[in-house]
Amino acid sequence: MARPDSLQRFIDATRGAFFAARPHDDACAAGERIFAALRAPGPIETRRPASTLPVCQFLSAAIANARAAGGTAGEVAASLEALLPLLAWHRRAGSDSHGAAFHDGHANAWAIAPNGIERRSDVIVGVTLTAPRIRYPDHSHPPEEIYVVLSDGEWRRDGLDWHAPGMGGAVHNPPGVRHAMRSGPSPLLAVWCLLAQH
Ligand SMILES: [Fe+2]
């Protein structure tokens, strides 16, 4: 099955927003690797998922906020809204060990992943959503990671203190670096992409 138009539009909008944010050289190189890998589609599974979570109560307002901002972030938000019927939301594995606030205050949806709309493991593309005033735990992983930010919220990584990329901002986490994010008084919404090491 061909890649759905809504998924292609979401990938294109995410790519456009990432490079429009003028990321630094290392981040730019990561983005080029990720979006080059995504040129070739993988197997598609479009059976409509049924899962939703309590934190999804914040999703409509977060998308509307990003759409209202316009520009490249607005385009990503519009493409995300069109993709919602195909997205299932999940808690982070082990989220109950980080307290009730995080357990019910964060969710991921995988657009491209072994259990996503496009089923592959070389590149993983997801959406992260948190309720207000939630801190995502410090973590690290071998794949390098980029984000396109669609809300307020702060990111950190070892060697780089908390900072707010801002609406449409880009974030890059090199392979294995410890990193985290947190929301302030409003929900945090972002698209992230992981590239497995070759
Ligand atoms: Fe991460």
DSSP per residue over 144-173, as a string?
EEEEEE-SS-EEEETTEEEE---TT-EEEE
CATH, domain range 5-40+53-195? 2.60.120.10
Question: How far is ligand 1, taken at its centre, from the CA of residue 185, in Å?
Answer: 22
CA 145 – ligand 1 centroid, Å: 6
Distance CA 111, CA 5 (A): 13
The model's pTM = 0.96
Profile the chain (198 residues) by mean pLDDT over runs of 10 residues: 94 98 94 97 84 93 98 98 94 85 93 95 97 96 96 96 98 96 98 88
Instruction: Specify the pLDDT at position 182.
Output: 98
pLDDT at position 46 is 83
Distance CA 152, CA 61 (A): 13
Ligand 1 centroid, distance to 43 Cα (angstroms): 24
**Structure confidence at residue 99 (pLDDT):** 86
Using the mean position of ligand 1's atoms as its centre, give its distance from the Cα of residue 178 in Å.
8
